[in-house]
Amino acid sequence: MTPTTGTTALITGASAGLGAEFARQLAAQGTNLVLVARNRVRLEEAAAGLERRYGITAEVLPADLTDDAGVAAVVGRLSDPGRPVAILVNNAGIGLLHNFEDNSISEEKKHLKLHGETAMVLTHAALKGMLERRDGRIINVASIAAFLPRGTYSAAKAWLVSFSRWANLAYRKQGVKVTAVCPGFTHTEFHDRMGMDKSVAPSWAWLHADRVVREALADNERGRAVSIPSKRYKLVAAVARVAPPRLVAGPARKPK
């Protein structure tokens, strides 16, 4: 990949999982970082480690991206012309364990805001400077679930994929590449935090974060609108496009 030495990347959900891996791989290329997540202590520990190991600078920006004030703080950083952000990684995400009717509507609204509205708002904030410089990269972490009928998580990620496809088409000729990354099951804290029994997915279905991020960065650099890491999940997406919905809906919803 083309080195990004001296540029700055802002990564949401950067304290763990795919966000932490994006930070590591970009730092290894010489990219300075702005790390965004809710937990200040974890962010500061991550920033210090990355600075020591790779010799880059790493800012920390604690923010809850389901909260308007948290989103506004990140918008302010992305909009600062004196400290341009060349790469935006919209990675922050949450999962809901139960069926739609069993979740509170406040949980569902927070879930939808984070995966859809927040990603849109941060993309909008980053775009002005990127278009002025005719150079920028935006990575939106979606999911293979975007291609499957599996509740509001799938619906939110499907919106993010569609948005990214449009944005890449609209802005690529102006120097801004936008990519939706659609991994399947990946070894991170994500499923543990939502309380999911990870044994429901066979061992072959699990990916490692370093591979997901490596392929995502490469596909974004190539200007691809959608990145689906691994051949197995490319096959899942292809089958989902033609298979009857009832065959790809999975075990997440059972009739009562």
Q: Is the distance from CB of 7 to CB of 87 less than 8 angstroms?
A: yes
Annotation marks residue 153 as catalytic: yes
The residue count of the chain comes to 256
Separation between Cα atoms, residue 10 and residue 12, nearest integer Å: 7
Q: Is the distance from CB of 149 to CB of 200 less than 8 angstroms?
A: no
Is 177 in a helix, a strand, or coil? strand
Burial tier of 42 (Cβ tally within 10 Å: 0-12, 13-18, 19+) = middle
Catalytic residue among 54, 153, 171, 233: 153
Query: b/e map of 170-186 (b: 16 or more CB within 10 Å)?
Result: ebeeeebbbbbbbbbbb
Where in the sequence numbering do the catalytic residues fall?
A: 153
